[in-house]
Amino acid sequence: MIKMLHSGWAYITLLLLIIAVVNAIIGLISNKEFKEKDLRISLFTLIVTHIQVLIGFIAFFTSAQFAFLKENGMKASMEDTTIRLIVVEHPIMMILAVVFITIGFSKHKSKITDSVRFKTIVIFYGIALAFILSKIPWSQWLG
């Protein structure tokens, strides 16, 4: 049940993150004014990603892969590429992605010009998007 929630919420998270990055790129390229709509898009993305991480923590600690880790230790988990992805690589990259989103949101608020605000969102949210796309367990998520 929690794994299904984590996977389903991931679609929302990924969609909002893509929208936030594309919106910021468009705003940056076209020299738009950073409006309330732009703030809301980046804020909702921040909130949704934080919720996803909380769901992910529950999914992590209730997963069969975590049980394998507890039973067999880190060495055995690192030798199995599927378990290593779920127990080590995916959680670390997702946490880093949320850290980048959080930093980007915090930093953009202190910027004076609209173009620098958009640029901050593009950089930090873009890095987070790259991290997320690099470590989604695609075979499990789409399969």
Quick: pLDDT tens for 43-79. Answer: 999 999 999 999 999 999 998 888 988 999 999 999 9
Residue 58's alpha-carbon distances to 2, 21, 96, 134, in angstroms, are 7, 28, 18, 22
Buried b (16+ CB within 10 A) or exposed e, 101-114: beebbeebeeeeeb
Residues 19-49: pLDDT tens digits? 999 999 999 999 999 999 999 999 999 999 9
Count CB neighbours of 15 within 10 A: 12
Decide if 131 contacts 94 (C-beta within 8 A).
yes
Residue 105's alpha-carbon distances to 7, 65, 66, 123, in angstroms, are 24, 33, 32, 11
State residue 142's pLDDT score: 61
Stated as kind and residue range, the H or E segment containing 67 is helix 64-79
Residues 89-141: pLDDT tens digits? 999 999 999 999 999 999 998 888 999 999 999 999 999 999 999 998 877 76
Gap between the Cα atoms of 123 and 131, Å rounded? 12
Is the predicted pLDDT of residue 80 greater than 80, yes or no?
Answer: yes
State residue 2's pLDDT score: 86
Domain boundary assignment for the chain: 2-142
State residue 143's pLDDT score: 56
Euclidean distance between the first and the last CA atom of the chain, given in angstroms as a whole number: 16
